[in-house]
Amino acid sequence: TDLFAKDDPIGKTVTINQSTFLVVGVMQAKVMMGMYSGPDKGQASIPAPTFKAMFTDAKLGNMVYKPASEQMADQAKAQIYRVLARKYRFDPDDTRALGIWDTRENQRITGNIALGIQMFLGIIGGLTLFVGGMGVANIMYAVVKERTREIGVKMALGAKVRQVMSPFVLEALTMTILGGTLGTVVGVVLMQIIAALPLKGDAFEFLPL
């Protein structure tokens, strides 16, 4: 899209390696932390038959495949070894003859990292709630201490313990609900603001190279 400024590139032409191509689609802009052949920015995809016609002597250096399901991943890998071994004449059991990058291990590592982050945030949240509860308890203790005479008068007039404690419990619940609601609203608003911030470029632009 940088070639066409703010104009819609769909339907326009672009010259690549002295050949003219019609733009039929634009990849969605995204921050890419991992990729097979570099970030999308500055790249163009052309049909495979066109590539073969333009570069007749070029050989396929790598390919990306995705099995129909995770349960079929090992079966798909074995089938790829068999097909390519038959084509290029090497032992299908020789894993060194053909390198396959299985991203499932990376996904497991990423999942474990995400789980660790969630557990850490959960612990932080629990500690925050504990500290907040201690703060509310201290405040209520101070309130009760200041109103000791009032409590004594009520008890002398025959008030029950439940009637004496109800206002304090109600105040504590009100403070807790208001504090929790305010914190939730502030958190949601901050997340919306952060999500709306324009983040341009790819991950490499943020790395000190």
Q: Is pLDDT at 58 greater than 80 in this prediction? A: no
Give me the chain's average pLDDT, please: 80
What are the residues whose beta carbons fall under 8 Å from the beta carbon of 81, sequence distance 6 or more? 92, 93, 95, 98, 100
Q: In this structure, which amino acid lies at residue 26?
A: V
Over 90: is that where the pLDDT of 3 sits?
no
pLDDT on residue 209: 44
Query: Using CA atoms, how far apart are residues 63 and 162, in angstroms rounded to an integer?
Result: 73
Query: Is the pLDDT assigned to residue 129 strictly greater than 70?
Result: yes
Instruction: Work out the average pLDDT over 104-109.
Output: 82
Q: Which residues contact 77 (CB under 8 A, 6 or more apart)?
A: 100, 102
At 64, which amino acid appears? V
The distance from CA 30 to its chain's CA centroid, rounded to whole angstroms, is 12
Segment 43-66 shows an average pLDDT of 77
Region 166-172: mean pLDDT is 84
Q: Please provide the distance, in angstroms rounded to a whole number, between the alpha carbons at the two ends of the chain.
A: 25
Instruction: Please tell me which residue, 39 or 15, carries the higher pLDDT value.
Output: 15
3-state class (DSSP) for residue 67: coil
Considering only CA atoms, give the Rg of the chain: 32
Residue 120's pLDDT band (boundaries 50, 70, 90)? very high
In angstroms, the Cα distances linking 74 to 36, 106, 111, 166 are 21, 16, 20, 64
| Residue 130 reports pLDDT greater than 70 | yes
Residue 204 predicted with pLDDT over 80? no
HSE-CB for 52 with a 13 A CA cutoff: 4
Average pLDDT score over residue span 87-96 = 84
Domain boundaries, the chain: 2-64, 67-102, 147-209
| Distance of alpha carbon 93 from alpha carbon 90, whole angstroms | 9
pLDDT at 66 > cutoff 90: no
**What are the start-end ranges of the E strands in the chain?**
13-16, 19-22
Q: How many CB atoms lie within 10 A of CB 139?
A: 13
